[in-house]
Amino acid sequence: MPFEISPLPCDPQSFAPQFSVEAVDQHRRRQQAQLDAINAVLGDEADAGDLRLDALARRARGALAAHAAQAWSDGFYWEALRAPQPEGANEPGGPLAAAIAAAFGDTRRLRERFNEAALGLSGPGWTWLVQRGDGRMAILATPHSVAPLTGTDTPLLACCLWPHAYAHDYGDSRERYLAAFWQLVDWDKVASRLR
């Protein structure tokens, strides 16, 4: 079966006012275009049914690897977003909160460091919260379609820094986009990704 876009965790309208329906639709069209490109390259191999985007991104080369990594990253990004929560209600708890405190001091400092990495990235790409092989947390900023799919890092949270993720609603202001992004993070999903 060819690669298909995964459903959103909630209705597109639920992301408002942080993300407009039009912005979500534009981002999802780009994600679908990546999947269409993969399916076109793979042809009948896409019908095998046992291929996964992360595995394809690891083993493929060139444009196919880039399309697979980008499509996987987009899916990973959407999975950890939800409808905005009331002020103060969207904070991590349990082991995730403890790991964040050990690495960054608190969630506020995590957001500051994450935002610094995102704003420091020149051009399109991604910012990631990852868990290192030794259990520590770290923040990565990766250019273009590069995703932390090799090595010992476990991705926990991704923020898309491609213009199609934010330009419709926020123009060229990554700062405003990041503020909106944090209001939508599903910390329960992030916690479920801990090793």
- Residue 29 falls inside a structural domain: yes
In a domain, 40, yes or no: yes
Contact 45, 51 (CB under 8 A): yes
171/101 Cα distance (integer angstroms): 33
The series of mean pLDDT values per 10 residues for the chain, 195 residues long, is 91 96 97 95 75 91 94 98 82 95 97 98 97 96 95 96 97 97 96 96
> Residue 4 falls within a domain, yes or no?
no
Flag whether 107 is in a domain.
Answer: yes
Closest of 74, 85, 92, 86 to residue 32, by C-alpha: 74
CB contact at 8 A, 184 and 169:
no
Count of domains observed in the chain: 1
Confidence at residue 46, expressed as pLDDT on a 0 to 100 scale: 67
Is residue 7 a part of any domain in this protein?
Answer: no
- Contact assessment for residue 39 and residue 2, using Cβ atoms and an 8 Å cutoff: yes
Range of the domain at 130: 19-195
Residue 8 placed within a domain = no
In a domain, 88, yes or no: yes
Q: For the packed helices 62-79 and 21-42, what is the interaxial angle rounded to 10 degrees?
A: 140
CATH number, position 107 = 3.55.40.20
Is 149 a domain residue? yes
